[in-house]
Amino acid sequence: MSSQLQPEVHAAARPKAEKSLNRMKRSDWLWAYLMIAPTLIGLGVFYIWPVVQTIYLSFTKWGGFGKYKWTGVDNYVLLFQDPNMWIALKNTFVYTVLAVPASIAISILIAVLLNQKIKGISFYRTLYFLPVVTMAAAVAMVWRWLYNADYGLINYLLGLVGIEGPRWISDPAIALYAVIIVAVWSSIGYNMVIFLAGLQGIPRSYYEAAEMDGAGPVRMFFTITLPLLTPSIFFVSITSLIGAFQVFDLIYLMIGKLGNPATEATQTVAYLFFTNGFESGNGGYAAAVAVVLLVLILIVTAVQMKMQKKWVHYD
């Protein structure tokens, strides 16, 4: 008799247990959404909505007192007919192609050196990280003085060995490269910290095994360190490329306008957005520039995400 009642009791209790479990799941989801609600609201208000608004404004023409009218794709037609846009695109790509690989390579080298057990290691790490916490305006002003063609320190040192220094930030032929040097110098500290974290996550046993097999430091670097550091390299490459495409502050603060003949030779897409949106008051055209920049960044990031499977090792 009891054996016949037992399955019936279990069958009657099962729906109640399932309902209780579903209530617990709903409660967990509710609390999860409540916890992330401030971040979601901030993301929507300060990031997603401005993007949507910028895309809409790129199809308009601005008038006085903030008024605008719908013009369709006119801004985009003018944009790709504008020679300044092609100059800005070329300068942006040159800056990105030169600054990002140089910054990553130098940062890896310094991170490997600062990962050793040497005296005063904390001091050296702090020294390399100082440019990261220094305001961009201060960095630009110091390097403007260093680059000054008449009384700058760099040309003074070159003069001591009989070399006539160039006009670093006023010569259109080399001004962009001078800015790239500063950008690489100021980004090394941040990238170095990321690479140091990656290096310290590599098990020491790998190096000990390679050393027992007779591998030297150079071979261990290319066969152990570099492959196992690829997740950090991937992260730094994405953030560095996005930052390079958006470069503005160093160029604006170091080159500026002020009758500088190198202004056109150093203007980037972000700089073109600024001049049209805040100096010329052409908000619709500036929004179109911003949308083109957004599309470029999305394409480059998507390509990187696709290629990571071939060169990034997570083991």
Residue 120 resides in a domain: yes
Give the span between the Cα atoms of 107 and 100, in whole angstroms.
11
Mean pLDDT, rounded, for 42-60: 90
Q: Using 50, 70 and 90 to split pLDDT, how confident is the model at 95?
A: very high
The 10s digit of each residue's pLDDT in 269-293 is 999 999 888 888 788 899 999 999 9
Residue 166 resides in a domain: yes
State the total domains in the chain: 1
Q: According to the model, what pLDDT value does residue 123 have?
A: 85
Round the average pLDDT of the chain to a whole number and report it: 85
6 has a pLDDT exceeding 60: no
Q: According to the model, what pLDDT value does residue 5 have?
A: 46
CATH code: domain of residue 208? 1.10.3720.10
Secondary structure of 202-261 in HEC code, one letter for each residue: CCHHHHHHHHHCCCCHHHHHHHHHHHHCHHHHHHHHHHHHHHHHCCCHHHHHHCCCCCCC
What percentage of the chain exceeds 70 in pLDDT?
A: 89
56 has a pLDDT exceeding 80: yes
Residue 71 resides in a domain: no
Domain extent at residue 123: 95-261
Residue 2 resides in a domain: no
The 10s digit of each residue's pLDDT in 7-48 is 554 555 556 556 665 666 777 778 888 888 889 899 888 889
Q: According to the model, what pLDDT value does residue 257 have?
A: 65
Q: How many CB atoms lie within 10 A of CB 184?
A: 20
The widest CA-to-CA distance across the chain, in whole angstroms, is: 110
Residue 107 resides in a domain: yes
Residue 103 resides in a domain: yes
Global confidence as pTM: 0.84
